[in-house]
Structure 1
Amino acid sequence: MDATDSVGAAGRHPLRVTLSVWYALLLRESLTRLFSRRAAWAWLMAEPLFHIAYMLAIFTGIRAYKMGGVDVAIWLITGMCAFFMFRRVASQGQNAISANQALFSYRQVLPVDTVIVRALLEGVLMLLVTCVLLAGAALFGHDVVPDEPLLVIGAAFGLWLIGLGWGLITSVLCGLVAEVGNLIGFLMLLSGAIMPINSIPQPYRDYLILNPLVHGIDAVRLGFAPYYHAIPELSLPLLYAWALGMLALGLILQVHYRERLMHQ
């Protein structure tokens, strides 16, 4: 029997089955994410806005109006939104398998499907949130049009991929070592989202620039303002090397522990 006969005997092509599963999961996750709690959709906007507002208040209080040669408001908005692109994708992916355990009774639904769908949804939602925040900044007279939009898109996509990779890895590891899930809380301080990496003294700065989030966030800021004083070591290839490595490791773990994840 050839491959065509096998597909016909099974009913539908595996790719069509996978896309149907993703579509159904996306509808389910969208309703849960936006309407499971009162004003859940508002929290999507309020969380990054709160972080930006209190950090802006701190910088204004110490009379720091420029950061790396850029208006501090734009520096914070771009950096925090870039970090939240990673954080939300990573944290939602990390909890995707445990939150959808009941769905694995359907043989078409695999644990990796839930992580990927959550990552897609969070990426789209964070993109919308970023656009709204930038539009709000524009109303206050800030220049929010990126000078190098392709650089911004490339860096943001790299951060999304790292978030997906993190979700694939930790959704497996959290089932083995629950404390792994707490690591994401430390990454904001080490990513340059709220603290300029160029201000960190040596030798600690050399350690921090090994963090791929630093390169992604600085690349987003540089895309908005070409005169921004980015780290000299800025490297998108490093960002994508980390992303592809984490994706590969995450997929290997998902395949190896699939049965255990479905019945934990």
Structure 2
Amino acid sequence: MREIPTCKGPDPDTKTPRYRPPAGACDTHCHVFGPGDVFPYAPDRAYTPPDNGYENLVRLHRILGLSRAVIVHASCHGSDMAVTLDAIARAGGTMRGVCVVDPGVTDAHLAKLHEGGIRGVRFNFVKHLGGMPDMGFFQRVLAQVEPLGWHVVLHLDAQDIVPLADTISAIRIPFVIDHMARVKAKDGVAQPAFRQLQALMENPLAWVKICGAERISSTGAPFRDALPFIRALAAQAPDRLLWGTDWPHPNIAGDMPNDGDLVDLLAEAVEDEAVRHKVLVDNPTRLYWKE
């Protein structure tokens, strides 16, 4: 029988950040996990997380001063969207979602997801989560979601962004690159992967999430070696940046971040309050609440 690893839970003692986000601030990358006895985890999942459902997410956002959220459906729940749709429905219009779909997904199913608050579809290219998807499936789904006005979220390993650059550049709908393409901070802003990310950001359809500092850091908490990357992207494309906590931080191998510290790290990286407002309020509104 296959052994499924269990990942660590988040820091339970969330700090109140020194920086108070503006009204309407949005966490555009967070997850809800279970509870497993209500929303079962997928049998073929790569990891099992500790339960952290809707109530815990709302509690976190209350401490952080965030009033909206985008739930990125996690691979451990497979393509059963029930847990994400339930949270969106309970949030009364303050949450949207990004889905995971199976090959053969129908237009009718996608329309139903849209009614439930889904506004994007995510594909994992990351090796520990299954690696490269079937590219025919990938292209078919992008064509299906285009009439809905959705975007596609790309979860990549740093070493994959250069060979995939032509494929990404050919995408005709808005595309969002997760976690700054998981570049390795120790390799600096001149590394080929980050230069390729910056080149992709010249495309007006390209967006990037300036979060995941704990995933790219080589120095550990408080992950300040991620600052040069965030600052470079903020200077290049402030109108197409998103930020999120990544709570409850699945599969963190190193230091578990405190989400209050992550809010303050964003404020340190983006010093201009007008740009912070774009990242936290205006940009999420344009992508997720445009109707």
Shorter-chain TM-score tier: under 0.3
More helix by share: 1
TM-score normalised to the size of structure 1?
0.26
More strand by share: 2
Higher relative contact order (CA 8 A, sep 6+): 1
TM-score normalised to the size of structure 2?
0.24
